[in-house]
Structure 1
Amino acid sequence: MNHRTALAAALLVLASPMAAQAQDGRATPAHAADGHQHAAFASDRLHVCVDGPEGAPDLILIPGLSSSPAIWQGTVDHLAGRYRVHRIHVQGFAGAPAQGNATGPVAAPVAEEIARYIREQGLNKPAVVGHSMGGTMGMMLAARHPDLVGKLMVVDMIPFMGAMFGPPGTTAESVAPVADQVHAAQATAPRDQYLAQAKASVTGMINTEAARAGPLRDVETSDQQVSAAAFRELIATDLRPELSKITAPVEVLYVKFNDARMTDALTDTVYRMSFSTLPGARLKRIDDSAHFIMLDQPTAFHGALDAFLSAK
C-alpha cells in the first residue's frame, strides 16, 4: 500500500465516527484557569496571562477549543522562569466573556490579534506552541506573519481537519456543507445534552483520570456558540496551501488516532501527507497518550519541548 492509498484508507476509517461525534454536539475538552496576571493588551478577542522574568526569551502558548491557559500550568512550572511565557486565553472559552468572538470565525481573527500582540509588546520572534485548535492558530500566525515567529510547535493537529469529514479528495469548499451541518447541530443542541456529550468525550481525549477535572470545568464555562463556530471554522479551513509560507522551524507532536482500526503506521502516514507541503517540518509521535499530550505524558512532552526550544 503506497502512502496516498494508506492516507485515503485512514481518512475513510476516521471520517464517519468523527463526523458523527461532532454532529452529536461534542466539544473538545479543556482545562480551567485560576488566578493569573494579564498583559497590558486591549483586545475583544483574547487576553494574555504572562509568567516568567522580563528579559527572558519569549514563548507563546495557545490552548485549543474551549481550553484555558491552565492546560499549560505544568509546562510553565517545568520551564521555571527560563522563559517569559505568554498564555493566550480566547474570549468565549473557559469562563471568558465571548465579546468579539460572539459571532463569526474565531481562529483566524484570534491569530491576527496574536500577531498584533507580538508587534505591540515588542516580542522578538517568540517561539509559539499551539495545542489542537491552538496549533491551527499557530500555523495561521506563522504562515501569514512569517516575520513574527521564531519557532512553531504544533501539538496534535493537522492543517486540514475537514479531510476527516469527507472522502479522499475532500476540499474546503466540498466540506463546507458538512461544517455547516455540524455547526447547526452543536449550536442548537439543548445545553444539558451538549454538556453531557462534551464531558463524555473527555475520556477519549485524556487518558489520565486525575487530569480530567479541569477540562470538565472548562467545557461547562465555555460559550456554546463560540465553541460551535470555532469548530465549524476548523472543519472548513485548509491550511495546507499556506504551509510553504512558513519560514520558522516547525515540529509537530502527535498521538495515534483514537480509533481501534487505526495503527501507528496509518497515523504516521496521515501526518506525513498532511504536512507534505512543509517538507522541513519534524514529525514526532508520542506513544501512550491521548489528545492532551501535556497532561497524559508531561515528561515526554517537556523533553520534546526543551529540545525544540534549545535547538539552533
Structure 2
Amino acid sequence: MIRHWPLRIAASALAPLLLFHPASSCANAIALPAETRLAHISVVKLGHGDPVVLIPGLSSPRAVWDGVAPGLARAHTVYLVQINGFAGDAPGANITPGLLAGIVADLDTYLAREQAGAVPVVGHSLGGLVALMTARAHPARVSRLMIVDSLPYIGLLFSPAATVPLVEPQAKTMRDAIAATYGKPADPAAAERTANGLASKPASRAAVKAYAMAADPRVTAEALYEDMTTDLRPDLPRIEVPITLVYPAPAAGPDRGETLYKRAYATAPHVVFVPIADSAHFVMLDQPAAFRAALDAFLAA
C-alpha cells in the first residue's frame, strides 16, 4: 500500500497509462436483471424503496458496488450505473469528446423516465466528478451526494496552483498515449501494478486488475482527458445539497489527505468528511464494512 496520500492518489490519476485493450469482461459477483442501455451509460435497477444512484469510477464496472448493492436493495431502489466501454462493454458514444456531459445527460434522462425525484447519488473517483456535475447541471435531480475519493479538480494532485490551461497539454499527451494502446495485447503485469497502487488488500487488487484488463482504453483515454480538464471548484458554492466526502486514510501517521480535501472543498456550503482507515483508492473493496457503515449513515441522514 502507498502510505503517503498524495502519492497514492497520484497513482490513481496516472494508473490509466497502464491500461490496455480489453481482454475479457468482468464477471459480476451477483446476478443482475436486464440493463437499460443509453448512449453513454447503462443502468441496472435493483430492489424497491427509496432510490439511490451508484456511479463507479474510471475503468471500473458496476460490480465495484457488489459489496453493498444487494443489502441496499432490501430497502432501496438501487440504480447501478456503468460507463459504456468499461467491463468489456461496447463504448457507444464514449470515444468522442463530450463523454462526461453525455453521462450527466443520460443519467438525467434515465431518472426522469423513472420519475425518481431528487435522489442521493454516490460516486467513486471519476464517478464522484460525474455526481458533482449532475448536482450542478440538474440540482432538482439530486438530494445529497456521497463523493468517494474524488476532487472537484484533479489537477490539484499535481500542484495547488494547477489550472486547466496549465494541465491540458499533459492531459492531451496522456489521452493520446492511452488511446494508442487500443488493439494491442493486454499486459497483465501492468494491470497488476496499477491495481497495487489503487487497492491495499489482495482480493481488492485482484478485482481492480480485472477491471483494468476489461476497460476499453479509448474510453479510459477520453474520460481521463475530460476529468483533467474539468474544474468544478468555481461551481462548488452553488452546489447546495449536502456532500459526504469519503476518503482513504493511513492506518497510522498524519493524514495528509484531509488537508488537501478540506482545501479543495472549502467553498462547498455543506460538507462532512469521513476518513476510512487502512484503505487505498478503492475504499469500498479494501474496507467493505467501514464503507457500508458510512453509506448507511449517509442514506439515513
Give the TM-score, by structure 1 length. 0.85
Partner of 1:188: 180
Match among 191, 197, 206 for residue 198 of structure 1: 191
Matched to 2:216, the amino acid is: D
Is residue 279 of structure 2 the alignment partner of residue 286 of structure 1? no
Query: Partners in 2 of 1:133 and 1:277 — Cα distance?
Result: 20
Number of residues of Structure 1 aligned to a counterpart in Structure 2: 292
Is residue 96 of structure 2 the alignment partner of residue 100 of structure 1? no
**1:24 positional shift:** 4.4
Q: 1:19 to 1:182 in 2, by over 3 A?
A: farther
CA-based RMSD of the aligned residues comes to 2.8
Partner of 1:5: none
Q: 1:31 to 1:309 in 2, by over 3 A?
A: farther
**1:297 positional shift:** 0.8
Q: Which has the higher strand share?
A: 2
Q: 1:98 to 1:152 in 2, by over 3 A?
A: same
Q: 1:63 to 1:31 in 2, by over 3 A?
A: farther
Give the TM-score, by structure 2 length. 0.87
Partner of 2:164: 172
Query: Partners in 2 of 1:176 and 1:92 — Cα distance?
Result: 23
User: Map of 1:1-312 to 2, 5 A cutoff?
Assistant: 14=7, 18=11, 21-22=14-15, 24-26=17-19, 32-33=27-28, 35-39=31-35, 41-53=36-48, 56-165=49-158, 167-189=159-181, 191-192=184-185, 196-256=189-249, 264-311=254-301
Partner of 1:7: none
Query: Partners in 2 of 1:128 and 1:17 — Cα distance?
Result: 25
Query: Partners in 2 of 1:164 and 1:117 — Cα distance?
Result: 33
**1:285 positional shift:** 1.2
Please identify, of 209-218 and 132-141, the stretch whose mean Cα deviation from structure 2 is larger: 209-218
Contact conserved, 1:47 with 1:90, CA < 8 A, in 2? yes
Partner of 1:3: none
Query: Partners in 1 of 2:203 and 2:8 — Cα distance?
Result: 30
Q: Percent identity?
A: 33
Query: Partners in 1 of 2:45 and 2:250 — Cα distance?
Result: 33
Contact conserved, 2:50 with 2:75, CA < 8 A, in 1? yes
Query: Partners in 2 of 1:246 and 1:189 — Cα distance?
Result: 38
Contact conserved, 2:12 with 2:197, CA < 8 A, in 1? no
Q: 1:310 to 1:211 in 2, by over 3 A?
A: same
Query: Partners in 1 of 2:226 and 2:99 — Cα distance?
Result: 7
Matched to 1:249, the amino acid is: P
